[in-house]
Amino acid sequence: MADQDQNQANSGGNPPAGGAPTPPPAQGGGHPPTPPVPPAGGAPVPPPAHVQHPPAPAGGHPPVPPAGGAPVPPPAHVQHPPAPVGGYPPVPPAGGTPVPPPAYAQHPPAGAYPPPGTPAGGFPPVGGGAPIPGGAFPPAGGGAGAPIPPPPPEDTTPANFQLGAKLPAQLGVPVPKHELNFDQNNFLRLLAGSISLAKDEKKKIIESLPKLKQSQVDELIRIFEEEKEKFSALSKKHVPQLEKLAQQHYNEWMDLEGEYQQASKSEEDTSKADEIRKNLGL
């Protein structure tokens, strides 16, 4: 029995009496080391403690604690509050007074009754200020102001503007021979004063008189008289435009008379030349 104890002592399994325990030799193969045998009559030696690492959180592994030091706590994850509707609140400065979030106007829910004190026609405007009466628009530029007076009523009194007032008493456009019954001077004045026909159209009517019927001439006179009455019933605000048109058609009629006079003189000269040649026997 003494020989067996001596062999165990020589193999290094037991520590020397009264000394520090000798750590066991490292063994390979992936097996844990064999715990040392406690000395005779001494306190048992506890096995080496294995450090239990916490599971790695999502997003990365925690730092490895230093040997023999206190374990490093995992990094705290900042919990951000949900962003408010309309944008994120401002970030407070480092070490300073936090910035209060922006104030949002509190509107009552749809279909709710307005709070007490609300004027008729809607809710009070955002940001304070005097309430706007129901159905009215704020004055231009904001703030309280005198109401804009309505425009004065338009004067619709007839100006009695007469077409053809600038024409001379005797018109120089000859009327071709015809078999119709009408006042030629009145017909020419109505035709010359009309602001609905151009110069060429007036000339065409004059030249076509021998081919027209009595009913057609009567209808033309009726149209010209109706035109004259309608323009005379317009108010004063239309007078400047009427004067401009009347002057334009007056100038065109004067040009038409000049063309007829030039044509009449040319015919007269031709007739005189023919008579002279006839007298000379040519």
**Domain ranges across the chain:** 184-278
Residue 210 has pLDDT above 90, yes or no: yes
Question: What number of residues does the chain have?
Answer: 282
Residue 18 has pLDDT above 50, yes or no: no
CA distance 69 to 153: 98
pLDDT digits (tens, 9 = 90+) for 37-54: 555 555 555 555 555 555
Lowest mean pLDDT among 2-6, 158-162, 222-226: 2-6
Q: Please enumerate in sequence order all residues whose Cβ is within 8 A of that of 182, keeping only pairs 6 or more positions apart, or say none.
A: 214, 217, 218, 221
Residue 78 has pLDDT above 70, yes or no: no
pLDDT top residue among 264 and 74 = 264
CA distance 261 to 241: 31
pLDDT digits (tens, 9 = 90+) for 165-196: 999 988 989 999 999 999 999 999 999 999 99
Burial 67-92 (b: 16+ CB within 10 A, else e): eeeeeeeeeeeeeeeeeeeeeeeeee
Residue 156: pLDDT band with limits 50, 70, 90: confident
CA 197-200-203 angle, to 5 degrees, is 95
Average confidence score pLDDT of the chain: 72
CA distance 206 to 28: 135
Lowest mean pLDDT among 85-94, 144-153, 205-214: 85-94
Residue 116 has pLDDT above 80, yes or no: no
Confidence at residue 183, expressed as pLDDT on a 0 to 100 scale: 94
pLDDT digits (tens, 9 = 90+) for 230-272: 999 999 999 999 999 999 999 999 999 999 888 877 777 777 7
pTM score of the predicted model: 0.44
